[in-house]
Amino acid sequence: MILVTGGLGFIGSHTVRALTDAGEECVLLQRREPTLPEHLAGLPVHTVQADISDLDALLAVGKKYPITGIVHLAVSLPWVNDGADPVDSFGQSLESFLNIVRAAQAWGVRRVVTASTIGVYMGTPVEGALTEDMPLSLEFTHAIPTFKKITELVAGHLSNTTDVQIVNARISGTWGPGGHLPDPFFAAPSLIQAAALRREPDLSGLAQPAHAEDSLDLMYVRDTGRALALLQLAGELHHPTYNVASGRATSNTEVIAAIRSAEPAFDAELPSAGAQPAAWLDITRLRQDTGFEPEYDTAAAAADYIAWLRAGNAR
């Protein structure tokens, strides 16, 4: 059985779907009272309420279920704007990550796949393909990529000094069913929502103004979940870190064109900022070690997402 922390969340639920499609049984761990969503109903999954910061509660899961692998996607980050003491918050976040490794040791789990982020490349002045072995900036940019860089280093140390292989999955900008609406970091989900509801796009929830030329390695969540499942199930992995991405940069202009192919009446124009440097995540490692190839291009993703929203999931 594969334990998926955050298995009822956005990326987590799609990872669970991919794992069960591959013949695996899953245990879904949530801090809050778990409620199985409709799209996971009927699958070989078990839901458990437990907080990964509570080691005893976490270890109890392994006494009930024979856990053979872990995909760690639960959000456990040192937020500094929630009123918590930032030192205590950071300490608890790191301890939660270590608890996952402690549990893996106790259960004899061979591999933990843990979520990192495309954000670790922030501050890296590179245009083109971003590879896993390129030097990362040590400048503080945001709490999330800062914490992920630290846990990547800790994971490398523990992989070398324990019997647990810890694999860092640097997940690119992900959109699709169940995702954030709006997503504060990129415009695509808000544009899709507007098309599904046949209304003007509201981009006020973005952290920065959107421009036509803005681009991102944009990955559809069904592909993201499948890639994470492949990393967990691969017989042998040759690297500690993998980019989980589409392997290409997608601009807002391309997103709008893809939406119009599914919804010709969609009307959205973004201001131009002129030519912008484009960067994307190189997925050579992922392809070579797991055989992964994205199944959704931007047009297919847009059509699928609009259909999902119109099936009663729009808000």
Which pLDDT value is given to residue 225? 98
Please indicate, yes or no, whether residues 74 and 203 belong to a single structural domain of this protein. no
Q: Which of 244, 261, 286 is the last residue in one of the domains?
A: 244
Examine the domain organization and report whether 228 and 83 are in the same domain: yes
Range of the domain at 285: 174-218+247-313
Do 28 and 39 have their domain in common? yes
- For a pLDDT cut of 90, what percent of the chain falls above it? 75
Residues 168 and 120 in one domain: yes
Across the chain, mean pLDDT equals 92
Residue where one domain finishes, among candidates 206, 229, 244: 244
Structural domain count, the chain: 2
pLDDT higher than threshold 90 for residue 159:
yes
The domain that holds 31 is classified in CATH as: 3.40.50.720
Above pLDDT 70, what percent of the chain?
A: 97
Pair (27, 123) in one structural domain:
yes
**What's the pLDDT tens digit per position in 3-39?**
999 999 999 999 999 999 999 999 998 888 777 878 8
Q: Domain check: are 161 and 116 in the same one?
A: yes
| Predicted pLDDT at 82 | 62
| DSSP sequence for the chain | -EEEETTTSHHHHHHHHHHHHTT--EEEEESSPP---GGGTTSSEEEEE--TT-HHHHHHHHHHS---EEEE-------SSSSS-HHHHHHHHHHHHHHHHHHHHHHT--EEEEEEEGGGGTT----EEEPTTSPPP-S---HHHHHHHHHHHHHHHHHHHSS-EEEEEEE-EEESTT--SS-SS-SHHHHHHHHHHTS----TT-SS---TT-EE-EEEHHHHHHHHHHHHH-S----SEEEES-SS-EEHHHHHHHHHHH-TT-------------EEE--HHHHHHH-------HHHHHHHHHHHIIIII--
162-213 pLDDT per residue, tens: 999 999 999 999 999 999 888 888 999 999 999 999 999 999 989 899 999 9
Residues 121 and 43 in one domain: yes
153 pLDDT above the threshold of 70? yes
pLDDT of residue 256: 97
The pLDDT assigned to 181 comes to 86
Query: What CATH number is given to the structural domain containing 288?
Result: 3.90.25.10
- Residue 197 shares a structural domain with residue 135: no
Residues 112 and 19 in one domain: yes
For residue 67, the model assigns a pLDDT of 97
Q: Are residues 160 and 21 in the same domain?
A: yes
Residues 214 and 134 in one domain: no
Of 229, 244, 259, the last residue of a domain is: 244
Q: What is the mean pLDDT of residues 246-268?
A: 95
Residues 59 and 155 in one domain: yes
88: confidence class by pLDDT, cuts 50, 70, 90:
confident
